[in-house]
Each structure stands twice: as structure tokens, then as C-alpha cells.
């Protein structure tokens, strides 16, 4: 055992005495290279052993933690049976027996999962999986009326850290907001606490909104691919609506804001735009900060373009700034490295089909049109596998896959 002296004679005696109190399981690496363990004056103890008086011992020794590799290696089906949701009778409160048609979702700090089930009037819903009970409840039930209309083809869901939520009620040309604060004026309308409120409605103000996202200040951004071909924003402070990016074409269906407020706009024609808060190098490319609103499509803001070979849908960034998205044409989940800009496959083998349980990422199959994605604070990735006939919500855990060197005391 190495120690970080200097020690006085009395300290060294105490050091040896307290180490001797351990019930030793094996010698540490250094002792194994010498004349055996438990030599006089040099006591070994097992990896991760906790000293009885750590405040004293840690003055002279240090613990080197495990050196590990974290990676995405599994895809786990957590909600849904792979069959399309067509009627209310197909809903259950059991994640392993219910049908879903999830287009977008979110997860909170307790592990509860929220999502919108796309359907027509009378079959669309907003649901939550309670992580502690493993049961599903409705936040908006199929057929429930919100301000005189039932949900119809909801496309987007977003949730902030406080618990406020917003969805796009696409076929009704509406944005709905759920407030967890006391009743007050938000987005230019009165929002009652713990109730769903229509904060924006009616063409041409909002037309067929799809994916949406909260900004750090509570403003809401959403994509209108057809017929508006733009991204818009509504101000939380006053409800003013403004164009953010125009001229996008009919394929830009997703807008996502990271925790810093950087804006990502994803196009089904294979292009990703970034509007950063501060100009700088992102994904190995210098991107200027937009100084006018609206911003027209232009090469300065393109961080990725695959020439239309990938149908990009869904977006999320991890704690390292890496960007993830669904490649709907090729049925894969992909990542763009924040530093290098390199694009890699996270999961998927290019085939379509439902898989129950857990499968390796390299052999995972996804539906014909994967939907949105979201991520928790531990960088676990969740995919709304929501196209074709294979509907489910799947988890790709970011986990400790290999210990390079076990922890040890020095």
C-alpha cells in the first residue's frame, strides 16, 4: 500500500492499526507483485473497501475509481406491443399490453414518460407512464374535449423541467399548453393551473403544426412544414407570434432547442440547420449567430446535408452536445459528433419490424417511419418508433459496458 506522507510516528502507528481492522479479502495489485500479502508494516485490503475512519485515512491514501467505457449497446422495448392503435378498446394501463401510436414524448426527473398518441378525433390522446407503479394514465383521454374540440392528429410534445407541457393539435390548427403554476396570463391568454389551455389557434396564425420545443425562457417554437414551410415562435411573456426561419420547404417538420437555446431544424430532405445563440464552431463548422428574424434558408446555418438520402425526423442533444436523429428512410438512429461533425449509426440494421424485449443495437429493427426522440439526464435515449405498423416506445440505455481498470486504493 502506497501512502501520501509525511506521517508522524504516532500517525503511522494509527494508520497500520486501522488498516489491520479490515477483514481483508485479497491483496491489492502492488502486494501481489511482492512477497505476499499482509507483510509487517504493509497491510492490503480489498478494492472499494471503506475505511472505518475515512477522514483520517484519506489524508494519506487515495482511491482511484473504475475506468469505464459507456456506450449504447442495447435497444429495449418499454411501451407498446408493436401493433397500431386504432380504437379506445386497445388502450390498457399496462405498458406491455397496450397499443400506442407515439409521435413525440418526454421524460421527467423521476423517470415518468409522457407522449402523444397520434390518431383522429376521438382516438388521439396524451398519456403518461408512471415509473414507480409501471402503469399508464391519460393526461388527455381519447374523446376528451379541450375548448370545444377533441384532439385530432397531435404531432408534437414538449415538457420543461418544471413540468409545464405543450402539444401541437395539428388537424385542429392549435397549440395546447398545460401550466403547473398558479393561474396567470401566459402566451397572451389566461392559463389555469393544472389545466390544458389553447394558447394559439386558427389558420393562418398556426397551420398544421408538427414537432415543437420549449426555449429556456419558456417561449415555444414549432415547425409548420405544409403549407407555411417555416418555423415560428410564440412569446411566453406576451403571446406575440414571429417567424424564425422561412423558405424551408414542405419537409422541415421538426424544431428542437437544446438547454442553451440553440435551435436545430430538421428536414426530411436530409438537411439540418442550426441557429446558435452565440456564433462559434459547432460540429466542426463555424456557424454565425443569426442577427435578424426571420432567417431565410442559407448555407451558413447548415451543419449537415446528406443529399436527401436520409429522412431526418426527431432531434435531441446529449450532455456532450452530440446531436441524435432518426433516419426514417433507412430505419436507423444516427449521431453527429459535436466536436468532429462525424456522423455514425447508433442503432438499427436497416430492416423494419417490431422487436419485444432487448436486442443489440446492431441487430435492432425500427419501423418504416420512426418519430420523435427524447433523452433523460443520464443520456439514456428514447425513440418513439411510430410508423408503418410497428408502434412502440424504445429505450437505448447509455450504460457502463466495460471496466477498463477496476478501482483501487493508492
Task: Tell me the mean pLDDT in the region 235-246.
Answer: 96
Q: State the pLDDT at residue 55.
A: 56
Q: Report whether 27 contacts 37 (CB < 8 A).
A: yes
Q: pTM here?
A: 0.82
Q: State the pLDDT at residue 49.
A: 43
DSSP 51: P
Q: State the pLDDT at residue 389.
A: 64
Q: How many CB atoms lie within 10 A of CB 70?
A: 13
Q: State the pLDDT at residue 47.
A: 43
Mean pLDDT, the chain, rounded, equals 85
DSSP state letters, 121-156: TTT-EEEEEETTTTEEEEEE-TT-EETTEE--SEEE
Cell of 165: 407541457
Walk me through the domains of the chain, giving residue ranges and CATH numbers.
9-61 (no CATH), 69-401 (2.120.10.30)
Task: Tell me the mean pLDDT in the region 365-377.
Answer: 88
Q: How confident is the model at residue 152 (pLDDT cuts 50, 70, 90)?
A: very high
Top pLDDT among 224 and 408 is at 224
Q: Report whether 181 contacts 127 (CB < 8 A).
A: no
Q: State the pLDDT at residue 294.
A: 93
Spatial distance between the Cα atoms of 246 and 284, rounded to a whole number of angstroms: 25
Low-confidence winner among 59-68, 82-91, 285-294, 338-347 (lowest mean pLDDT)? 59-68
pLDDT at 11 over 70: no
Q: Across-strand partners of 336? A: 323, 343
Q: State the pLDDT at residue 290.
A: 94
Spatial distance between the Cα atoms of 342 and 335, rounded to a whole number of angstroms: 8
Q: How confident is the model at residue 51 (pLDDT cuts 50, 70, 90)?
A: very low
Task: Tell me the mean pLDDT in the region 282-288.
Answer: 95
Top pLDDT among 318 and 36 is at 318
Q: How confident is the model at residue 305 (pLDDT cuts 50, 70, 90)?
A: very high
Edge to edge, what strands does the sheet with 373-375 contain? 358-360, 74-79, 392-396, 381-385, 373-375
Single out the residue of 186, 205, 204, 206 nearest to residue 196, CA to CA. Answer: 186
Spatial distance between the Cα atoms of 126 and 390, rounded to a whole number of angstroms: 19
The bridge status of strand 154-159 relative to strand 343-347 is: unpaired
DSSP 396: E
Q: State the pLDDT at residue 25.
A: 32
pLDDT at 23 over 50: no
Burial of 238 (0-12, 13-18, 19+ CB in 10 A): exposed
Q: Tens digits of per-residue pLDDT, 82-96?
A: 877 777 777 889 999
Q: State the pLDDT at residue 346.
A: 97
Q: Could you give the 3-state DSSP secondary structure of residue 65?
A: coil
Task: Tell me the mean pLDDT in the region 23-46.
Answer: 39
The bridge status of strand 343-347 relative to strand 302-305 is: unpaired
Q: What is the dihedral of CA 92, 361, 384, 158, to 10 degrees?
A: 120
Using a pLDDT cut of 70, give the percent of the chain over it: 82
Q: Report whether 128 contacts 76 (CB < 8 A).
A: no
pLDDT at 347 over 90: yes
Task: Tell me the mean pLDDT in the region 159-185.
Answer: 97
Q: How confident is the model at residue 27 (pLDDT cuts 50, 70, 90)?
A: very low
Amino acid at each position: 500500500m502506497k501512502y501520501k506522507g509525511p506521517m508522524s510516528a504516532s500517525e503511522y502507528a494509527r494508520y497500520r492499526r486501522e488498516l489491520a481492522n479490515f477483514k481483508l479479502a485479497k491483496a491489492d495489485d502492488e502486494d501481489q507483485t511482492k512477497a505476499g500479502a499482509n507483510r509487517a508494516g504493509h497491510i492490503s485490503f480489498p478494492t472499494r473497501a471503506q475505511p472505518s475512519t475515512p477522514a483520517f485515512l484519506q489524508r494519506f491514501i487515495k482511491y482511484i475509481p473504475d475506468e469505464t467505457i459507456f456506450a449504447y449497446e442495447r435497444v429495449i422495448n418499454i411501451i407498446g406491443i408493436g401493433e397500431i392503435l386504432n380504437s379506445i378498446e386497445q388502450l390498457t394501463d399496462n405498458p406491455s399490453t397496450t397499443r400506442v401510436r407515439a409521435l413525440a414524448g418526454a421524460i421527467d426527473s423521476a423517470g415518468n414518460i409522457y407522449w402523444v398518441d397520434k390518431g383522429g378525433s376521438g382516438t388521439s390522446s396524451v398519456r403518461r407512464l408512471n415509473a414507480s407503479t409501471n402503469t399508464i394514465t391519460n393526461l388527455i383521454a381519447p374523446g376528451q374535449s379541450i375548448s370545444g374540440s377533441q384532439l385530432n392528429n397531435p404531432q408534437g410534445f414538449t415538457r420543461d423541467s418544471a413540468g409545464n407541457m405543450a402539444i401541437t393539435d395539428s388537424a385542429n390548427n392549435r397549440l395546447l399548453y398545460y401550466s403547473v403554476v398558479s393561474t396567470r396570463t401566459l402566451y397572451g391568454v389566461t392559463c389555469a393551473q393544472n389545466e390544458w389551455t389553447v394558447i394559439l389557434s386558427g389558420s393562418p396564425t398556426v397551420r398544421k403544426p408538427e414537432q415543437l420545443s420549449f426555449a429556456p425562457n419558456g417561449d415555444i417554437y414549432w415547425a409548420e412544414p405544409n403549407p407555411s414551410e417555416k418555423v415560428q415562435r410564440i412569446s411566453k411573456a406576451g403571446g406575440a407570434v414571429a417567424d424564425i426561419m422561412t423558405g424551408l420547404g414542405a419537409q422541415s417538420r421538426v424544431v428542437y432547442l437544446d438547454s442553451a437555446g440553440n435551435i436545430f431544424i430538421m428536414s426530411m430532405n436530409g438537411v439540418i440547420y442550426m441557429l446558435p445563440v452565440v456564433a462559434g464552431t459547432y460540429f466542426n463548422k463555424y456557424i454565425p449567430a443569426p442577427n435578424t428574424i426571420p432567417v431565410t434558408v442559407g448555407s451558413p446555418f447548415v451543419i449537415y446535408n446528406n443529399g436527401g438520402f436520409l429522412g431526418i425526423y426527431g432531434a435531441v442533444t446529449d450532455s456532450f452536445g452530440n446531436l441524435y436523429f432518426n433516419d426514417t428512410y433507412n430505419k436507423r438512429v444516427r449521431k453527429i459528433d459535436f466536436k468532429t461533425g462525424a456522423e455514425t449509426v447508433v442503432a438499427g440494421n436497416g430492416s423494419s419490424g417490431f422487436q419485444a424485449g432487448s436486442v443489440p443495437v446492431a441487430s435492432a429493427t425500427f419501423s418504416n417511419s420512426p418519430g420523435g426522440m427524447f433523452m433523460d439526464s443520464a443520456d439514456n435515449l428514447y425513440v418513439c418508433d411510430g410508423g408503418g405498423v410497428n408502434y412502440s416506445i424504445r429505450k437505448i440505455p447509455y450504460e457502463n459496458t466495460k471496466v477498463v481498470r477496476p478501482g483501487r486504493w493508492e
